[in-house]
Structure 1
Amino acid sequence: MSNALLRILTALVGIPLVVGLLYAGGGWLLAGVLLTGILAQREVYDMMAAGGLAPHRKEGLLLGVLLVLWALMPGAGAMAVLVFVLLLAASPLRKGTAHPLSSLAATVFGALYPACLLGFLVRLREARGPLVDGEAAFWLALATVALVWITDTFAYYAGRAFGRHPLAPTVSPKKTWEGAIGGAVGGLLGAVVFRLTVLPFLDWPHVVALGLIGGVVSQLGDLAESRMKRSVGVKDSGTLLPGHGGLLDRIDALLLAIPLAYLYLAHVAHLFAGAP
């Protein structure tokens, strides 16, 4: 089976699953984000191990789970702080750890990226405000995710058709400025379509901002993960998804876009009441 066909089949399964979890929201979405976060965090730790680091996997995964649960359970945030304090206190006492500070930093980073960042998808879906009920929150969450997908598609085809000038040759040699610009245009166009169809309450300046988050910030998230992989000499973060590589390879662009979209909509657009 060709790689392209595997990618299509994986997308045919993955896209309806993501949309279904976003529609269900609540515990269903939380469970999906938890599972995704754990699997992606394991891939991060595998990459770190390939680069010579020694994260404390079990403690890090526990910290990652608590940081995701924090999206719906405020008490989980306090528990996450407790786990971090215990990790910090125990790090000098661990036997067989040549570089305790590096191991501690790797452990915490693996919990923040991707687990904590992914948890903002739950916050976005469950946010409420004067203009945002459950249905509107679903469309905001779906739009944020879909704009990243649209950006990726536009960037791919624009790069294939017009790509001449490398964007970041030492990080991702195949990416071009033409592809990046095409992706940004796709993100903006997608945001306009969402505004005209299912997000009529969103003012146009915020539409542009959401389009830029999906069209520009998501590409920076992709490049950030590419930089991590190149620094440890691996091509893919894993082999979980046929035709796509690792799970982290599929969600890397979301990891910067989702938190920024939530924070923008909450604290600049002021759409959500009492948002943290």
Structure 2
Amino acid sequence: MKQRIITAVVALIFFIPLIILGGMPLHALAAVLAAIGVYELFNMKGLEIKSFEGILTIIAVVLLVLPIATWFKFLPSNIDDVTLYYSIVMIMLVVPVFSKNTYTFDDVAFPVLVSLYVGIGFQNFVSAREAGFKVLMFALLVVWSTDIGAYFCGMKFGKNKLAPHVSPNKTIEGAIGGVLSAVVVAGIYMVFWPLPYNIGVMLILTAIFSIAGQMGDLVQSAYKRHYGVKDSGKILPGHGGILDRFDSLLFVFPLMHLVGLF
């Protein structure tokens, strides 16, 4: 526990100033975090990140995360992030032709899915900050309060397992507590920093975001169980990998974008 707290404090000291600052420093941080996320998934599957598909996947993710208008001003105005990203996917799709199908369409599917899962999540992380600091903080508070509420409610009231085949320690009572905690924290937050919709709609959306965040956590747990690993990585002592910390946000940010919060 002591190690977890120290790591969290050090990470926040580094992380909070960057999200306050925003702009290119935050874009660069998001791209680095996304690249590490790709590495963690490749490592879980036993694939070499220095391989041809590993390098292409990192390039694809970075192209999704970095805003074109800021980082690629030299490109023609008709080229967007989807076009750049798909150019990398097309290269991957061509590989089976020259490998005589030793590298197959099924092999291509993994890096493409990884790039979408990680890239779109961190792309929306950047977009949320571009929309405003209060939007990004809202998402972070929803996820953090969900985690804290779920942990303590699970400890106190947890009896019924939520998904024992994936995450044996999580309970239905904890999950409900996480949602309630997020709604309360979001309600207080929006008294001081209103968001686009009225507070009633926002509290309903908060509950949905909280559930989505918990689902993102379970999805990552399912991947880890499938590949037989405890943590996605070891970069954060006591916490595991980048995906262990951002798995909920990779689901919450795209959903916030989908409902028009940024």
TM over 0.5: yes
Distance 2:125 2:195 in 1: 21
Note the alpha carbon deviations across 1:149-205, whole angstroms, 9 max, x for none: 110011011111111100000000000001000000011111101111222664123
Per the alignment, residue 45 of structure 2 pairs with 48
* TM-score for both structures, normalised by structure 1: 0.85
1:235 offset after TM fit, Å? 1.0
Q: Report the equivalent of 2:90.
A: 85
Q: 2:182: which partner in 1?
A: 187
Aligned to 1:159: 154
Distance, in Å, in 1 between the alignment partners of 2:52 and 2:173 is 38
SS at match of 2:230: coil
The answer on 1:33 being equivalent to 2:30 is: yes
Confirm or deny that 1:231 pairs with 2:226: yes
CA distance in 2, matches of 1:98, 1:171: 33
Alpha-carbon distance between aligned partners in 2 of 1:17 and 1:184, rounded to the nearest angstrom: 28
Query: Partners of 1:256 and 1:145 in 2: how far apart?
Result: 12
Q: What does residue range 15-164 of structure 1 map to in structure 2 within 5 Å?
A: 15-49=12-46, 56-70=53-67, 75-94=80-99, 98-127=102-131, 137-164=132-159
Where does structure 2 lack aligned partners over 5 or more consecutive residues? 71-78
Which whole-Å deviations, capped at 9, do the CAs of 1:9-34 have from their partners, x for residues lacking one? 11112223332222111111101101
Q: Which amino acid aligns with 2:61?
A: G
CA gap of 1:71–1:178, structure 2 versus 1, over 3 A, is farther
RMSD (Å), alpha carbons: 2.0
Give 1:227 deviation, angstroms: 0.5
Which residue does the alignment assign to 1:253? 248
Question: In the alignment, which residue of structure 1 is the partner of 2:217?
Answer: 222
* Deviation readout 1:92-124 (Å, 9 max, x if unpaired): 3236x7451222001111111212211101111
TM-aligned CA distance change 1:17 to 1:124, over 3 Å: same
Distance 1:8 1:114 in 2: 26
Structure 1 residues 186 and 23 mapped into 2: Cα distance closer, same or farther (>3 Å)? same
8 Å Cα contact 1:55-1:107 kept in structure 2: no
Q: TM-score, normalised by structure 2?
A: 0.89
| Equivalent AA in structure 1 for residue 66 of structure 2 | L
Q: Which residue of 2 aligns with 1:241?
A: 236
Percentage of matched positions with identical amino acids: 33
- Change in CA separation of 1:154 and 1:261 when aligned onto 2, cut-off 3 Å: same
Moved over 4 A (4+): 70-74
Question: 1:72 and 1:150 mapped to 2: Cα distance?
Answer: 34
- In structure 1, stretches of 5+ residues that fail to align are 128-136, 267-271
Distance 1:72 1:154, change over 3 A: farther
Given that 1:164 and 1:178 are in contact with CA atoms closer than 8 Å, whether structure 2 keeps it comes out as: yes
The amino acid of 2:86's aligned partner reads V
Change (3 A) 1:265 1:20: farther
SS in structure 2 of the partner of residue 174 of structure 1: strand
Residue of structure 2 in register with 1:209 after alignment: 204
Task: Give a deviation string over 1:202-247, Cα, whole Å, max 9, x none.
Answer: 4123321341144211000000000111111111111110001111
